[in-house]
Amino acid sequence: MIKFFKNQWMNYNLTNQEINLPIINHSKFANESCALLIRSFNERNASNDIQEKINNGKIKAIISTQEILDKFENVEKYCTDFPDKCWAELCALNFPKQSLHIIAVTGTCGKTSTCFFTYQILRKMKKNVLLISTVGIYENDEFKAESINTTPDALTIRKNMHEFVEKYGEESFCIIETSSIGLEQNRIYSIHPEIGLFTNFSQEHMEYHKNMQDYFDQKIKLMPLCQKFYINKAVEIEQYAKNLQGFFQYGSELIETKYENNEFQIIFKFNEILHAITSNLKSDFQAKNILSSIIILQNYFQLDQIISLYQNLEPPTGRMIIYENVIIDHAHKPDAVFNIINSAKKLNPDKIIAVMGCGGDKDKIKRPIIGKILQDHCAEIILTTDNPRSEDPMEICKEMACSKAKIILDRELAIKEAMKILTNKDVLIICGKANDYFQEIKNEKINYAGDEKIVKNFLELKKST
């Protein structure tokens, strides 16, 4: 017998009288009698495993859509049209405390930096902060856990928020970096941020989303969850944001950046008044991320309370790492690569040298776009391996369609070759892996020294000889 709970997904919780069983969201956790909630289904490897655990008595009930329920037999079935929302509400019911000042940031680029800068300023203001982001989960100054995804699953978010409130109280802050995939899968569905911010919008995740409109539609799902929602003024969304005017506010406006006497100055307009910040982070795109952070925090503090605190910030791990005239960055999207090149140009080099690759099994459309950006703006280019996964790394490099590039598939050798031809008047940019210490090759994770470590060791060896 199938029990229907259409549009009533909030009824499921661990003490529910209808389902008096522990409820899990993955069959790998089925070690005793439990109910399995299935949000989506991978036919290749999930079906046999789940049915076997049903036959062994480990899975007593399944909660999912009618289509997925029909694949299984000899199990109690609960039908819902919204399994992902059901899971989010389940997590909220079991970890209900979220009386925090919740901030959520989305966008194609800049999410991680905006979240990390906001976190740093709040800590400088002596506030208790829970950060849930690509860089990991931080509880005040303590690194608590790595993040497998940009936006973790609903259980991870709710559990961390609940425990943080119990430990530090309701006037604490929580910052959540929200991806389009996380929003599409309703990972923060049961969470209602006070402030939401949209950093920018450009092509990404086309292997997952149907098209740019679908990508935008998933991003903007954050807006109705928030009490206030900001979109940066420079974000070009008019063709996608139909009938949204009046539902959001624009952020501050970057007027210009100046690099003089080894100081980087950011001039911006807020409430029609010009302001200036001197920053240790010498790049235009980080200037935009700083302004995004200011827009968020002006809701909690006077501008003159916080503006000076932005003068000395740490970049997030893998973002805009500078060793002498070498820039290392996680950039792997067209806009992000272009921003890194613009930052390099601010240093007035004789030429820009680039080392980069593209990931396999993802968003093939962006490969020639990145190749053209490198071709147009860099004097010398070395294409290399960057997580090819199941694809041939040589074919990936060829698809980047960068005619003046040299291809060296061994990434460490590619970086060392670029370092050898680098002069004191040049700038080398190394994009992609940054501080990742693995390569995904033939779907296996293989140890890799890391871009930063390779550069650091090369420079140290050069100084000692």
pLDDT of 9 higher than 70:
no
pLDDT at 59: 93
Residue among 92, 298, 309 at smallest CA distance from 194: 298
- 206: pLDDT confidence band, cut at 50, 70 and 90? low
The predicted structure's pLDDT at residue 33 = 86
Helix/strand/coil percentages in the chain, nearest 5: 35, 25, 45
Q: What pLDDT does 316 receive?
A: 92
Q: Residue 147's pLDDT band (boundaries 50, 70, 90)?
A: confident
pLDDT at 292: 93
Residue 17: pLDDT above 50?
no
Mean pLDDT of the region 29-56: 81
Helices (H), 27-179: 46-55, 66-69, 83-94, 111-124, 154-168
Q: What is the pLDDT of residue 5?
A: 40
- Does position 166 have pLDDT exceeding 70, yes or no? yes
pLDDT band at 4 (very low <50, low <70, confident <90, very high): very low
Question: When comparing pLDDT for 193 and 243, which is higher?
Answer: 193
- Residue 161, classed as helix, strand or coil, is helix
Q: Is the pLDDT of residue 116 over 60?
A: yes
* Sole residue written with tokens 């079991």: 94
Cβ(196)–Cβ(230) below 8 Å: yes
Are the C-beta atoms of 122 and 297 separated by less than 8 Å?
yes
Q: Is the pLDDT of residue 3 over 60?
A: no
Give residue 13's pLDDT. 37
CA distance 394 to 321: 27
Residue with tokens 């049961």: 190
* Structure confidence at residue 12 (pLDDT): 37
Least confident piece of the model among 14-23, 89-98, 216-225, 352-361: 14-23
The pLDDT of residue 236 is above 70: no
pLDDT of residue 272: 87
Give me the residue label for tokens 């989506």.
40
Other Cβ atoms within 10 Å of 38 Cβ, number: 20
Mean pLDDT computed over every residue of the chain = 88
Q: Which residue has the higher pLDDT, 419 or 335?
A: 419
Higher pLDDT, 241 or 414: 414
Which one is predicted more confidently, 104 or 34? 104
Calpha distance 107→216 (Å, rounded)? 9
Identity of the highest mean pLDDT range in 60-69, 110-119, 140-149, 339-348: 110-119
Whether residue 463 is predicted with pLDDT greater than 80 in this model: the reply is: yes
Q: Which pLDDT score is estimated for 234?
A: 63
Per-residue pLDDT at 8? 38
Q: What is the pLDDT of residue 6?
A: 36
E strands of 271-379, at which residues? Answer: 273-279, 321-323, 326-329, 352-356
Instruction: In whole angstroms, give the CA distance from residue 373 to residue 345.
Output: 14
Note whether 171 and 82 are within 8 A (CB).
no
How far apart (Å, rounded) are the C-alpha atoms in residues 361 and 365? 11
**Mean pLDDT within 387-408:** 96
Q: Looking at residue 165, what is its pLDDT?
A: 95
Smallest Cα–Cα separation from 287: which of 316, 264, 263? Answer: 264
pLDDT tens readout for residues 413-440: 999 999 999 999 999 999 999 888 999 9
**What are the tokens at 391?**
């694809």
pLDDT exceeds 60 at position 207: yes
pLDDT score recorded for residue 235: 64
Contact by Cβ (8 Å): 233, 250: yes
Mean of the pLDDT values across residues 325-335? 93
Percentage of the chain exceeding pLDDT 90:
60
The secondary structure element, H or E, covering residue 182 is helix 180-184
How many percent of the chain have pLDDT more than 70? 90
* H or E element, residue 413: helix 411-421
Q: What are the beta bridge partners of residue 278?
A: 265
Neighbours of 242 (CB within 10 A): 10
Domains of the chain, with CATH numbers?
2-92 (no CATH), 96-311 (3.40.1190.10), 321-464 (3.90.190.20)
According to the model, what pLDDT value does residue 14 have? 37
Average pLDDT of the residues in 366-387: 97
Q: Check whether 2 has a pLDDT greater than 50.
A: no
Secondary structure E strands in 343-422: 352-356, 380-383, 406-407
267-323 per-position pLDDT tens digit: 998 888 899 999 988 888 899 999 999 999 999 999 999 999 999 999 998 888 999
